[in-house]
Chains A and B, each alone.
Chain A
Amino acid sequence: MNDVVRPVMQDAVAAAPTRVDGRDKVTGRARYAVEHPVEDVVWAWPVTSTVAKGRVTEIDASEANGTEGVIAVLTHANAPRLGETDDAELQLLQSDRVAYRGQVCALVVGETVESARAGADAVRVRYDEAEHDVVLDARHPAMFTPEKVNPGFPTDTSIGDPDTAFAVAAVQLDATYTTPTEHNHAMEPHATTASWGADGTLTLYDSNQGSTGVARVMADLFGLQVRAVHVISEHVGGGFGSKGTPRPNIVLAAMAAQAVGRPVRLALGRQHMFSLVGYRTPTIQRLRLGATTDGVLRSLVHDVWEQTSTLDDFAEQTAVISRMLYAAPARRTTHRLVRLDVPTPSWMRAPGEAPGSFALESAMDELAAACDLDPVELRVRNEPDVDPESGKPFSSRNLVACLREGARRFGWEQRDPTPGVRRDGRWLVGTGVASSTYPARTAPSQARMSIGSDGVVTVELNAVDIGTGSRTALTQIAAEAMDLPTDRVRLRIGDSTLPPAMIAGGSMGLTSWGSAIVKGARQLRELVGRRDGAIPEDGLEVTADTAEEVRAVSGYARHAFGAQFCEVRVDADTGEVRVPRLLGVFAVGRVINARTARSQLVGGMTMGLSMALHEEGVVDVQHGDNVNHDLAGYHIAAHADVADVDAMWLEEHDEHLNLVGAKGIGEIGIVGTAAAVANAVHHATGVRVRDLPIRVDRLLGRG
Chain B
Amino acid sequence: MKAFEYERPVGVTEAVALARRAGSRFLGGGTNLVDLMKLGVETPDLLVDLTGLDLAEVLEQPDGALRIGATVRNSDLSANDAVRARYPVLSQALVAGASGQLRNMATVGGNMLQRTRCPYFQDVTKACNKRVPGSGCPARAGEHRNLAILGASEACIATSPSDFAVALAALDAGVTALTTEGEVSLTVSDFFRLPGDEPQRDTNLPPGALVTALTVPRLDWATRSAYRKVRDRASYAFALVSVAAAVDLDGDRVRDVRLALGGVAHAPWRATRAEEALRGGPATEEAFSAALRGELEAAEPLPHNGFKVDLAHNVAVRTLTELTGVPA
Contact = CB atoms under 8 A, between A and B. Distances in A.
Given A426-B328, A623-B138, A697-B145, A118 B3 contact: yes
Interface stretch (B192-200, B226-234, B254-262): B226-234
Nearest to A614: B233
Contact of B307 (A621, A627, A640, A701): A701
Interface in A589-622: 613-614, 618, 620-622
A400 to B, nearest CB: 34
A617 to B, nearest CB: 11
B125 A50 contact: yes
Contact of A695 (B142, B232, B235, B314): B232
B119 interface: yes
Contact of A620 (B40, B142, B307, B310): B142
B143 A627 contact: yes
A695 B311 CA distance: 13
B43 to A, nearest CB: 9
A614 B138 contact: no
Contacts of A640: 233-236
A696 B119 contact: no
Interface in A561-601: 573-576, 578
B315 A641 contact: no
Interface stretch (A131-139, A171-179, A251-259, A630-638): A630-638
B47 interface: no
A628 interface: yes
A117 interface: yes
A575 B232 CA distance: 10
A278 B141 CA distance: 27
B32 to A, nearest CB: 11
B293 interface: no
A621 B142 contact: yes
A16 B145 CA distance: 47
Nearest to B234: A640
B311 A700 contact: yes
Contacts of A389: none
Q: Is the interface of A mostly helix, strand, loop or mixed?
A: loop
Contacts of B20: none
B70 to A, nearest CB: 24
A639 interface: yes
Contacts of B328: 426
A594 to B, nearest CB: 29
Given A623-B126, A623-B138, A613 B233 contact: yes
B240 interface: yes
Nearest to A631: B236
B237 interface: yes
Contacts of B318: 426, 573-574
Interface residues of A, number: 35
B85 interface: no
A641 B142 CA distance: 29
A696 B230 CA distance: 9
A644 interface: no
Contacts of B233: 613-614, 635, 637-638, 640-641
Interface in A105-132: 114, 117-118, 121
B117 A578 contact: no
Contacts, number: 82
A526 interface: no
A68 interface: yes
B194 to A, nearest CB: 24
A618 B307 contact: no
Q: Which of B123, B126, B235, B314 has the most CB of A within 10 A?
A: B123
A509 B96 CA distance: 42
A696 B311 contact: yes
A118 B1 contact: yes
Contacts of B230: 574, 576, 696
A618 B236 CA distance: 19
A638 B236 contact: yes
Nearest to B316: A573
A638 B236 CA distance: 7
Given A118-B2, A574-B311, A622-B138, A638 B240 contact: no
B167 to A, nearest CB: 19
Nearest to B43: A121
B143 A618 contact: yes
B39 to A, nearest CB: 9
Contact of B315 (A121, A573, A620, A639): A573
Given A573-B315, A697-B307, A121 B1 contact: yes
B303 to A, nearest CB: 12
Interface string B99-119: 000000000000000000101
A629 B317 CA distance: 35
A701 B235 CA distance: 23
A121 B2 contact: yes
Contacts of A622: 138, 141-142
B232 A696 contact: yes
Nearest to B307: A697
Contact of B234 (A114, A578, A628, A700): A578
Contacts of A639: 235
B310 A121 contact: no
Interface string B284-328: 000000000000000000000001001100110110000000001
- Interface-centre pick from A573, A633, A641 (highest chain B CB count, 10 A): A573
Contacts of A696: 230, 232, 240, 307, 311
Contacts of B237: 635
10 A-B pairs with the lowest CB-CB distances in the bound complex, closest first:
A640-B234, A697-B307, A640-B235, A573-B314, A50-B125, A627-B143, A627-B119, A638-B236, A574-B230, A573-B318
Given A628-B119, A700-B311, A700-B314, 11 more contacts: A117-B1, A118-B2, A573-B317, A575-B311, A622-B142, A623-B138, A635-B233, A635-B237, A638-B236, A639-B235, A696-B307
Interface of A: 50, 68, 114, 117-118, 121, 426, 573-576, 578, 613-614, 618, 620-623, 627-629, 632-633, 635, 637-641, 695-697, 700-701
30 contacts: A68-B3, A118-B1, A118-B2, A121-B1, A121-B2, A426-B318, A573-B318, A574-B311, A574-B318, A575-B311, A576-B234, A613-B233, A620-B126, A620-B138, A621-B142, A622-B142, A623-B138, A627-B142, A633-B117, A637-B233, A638-B234, A638-B235, A638-B236, A640-B235, A640-B236, A641-B233, A696-B240, A697-B307, A700-B310, A700-B311
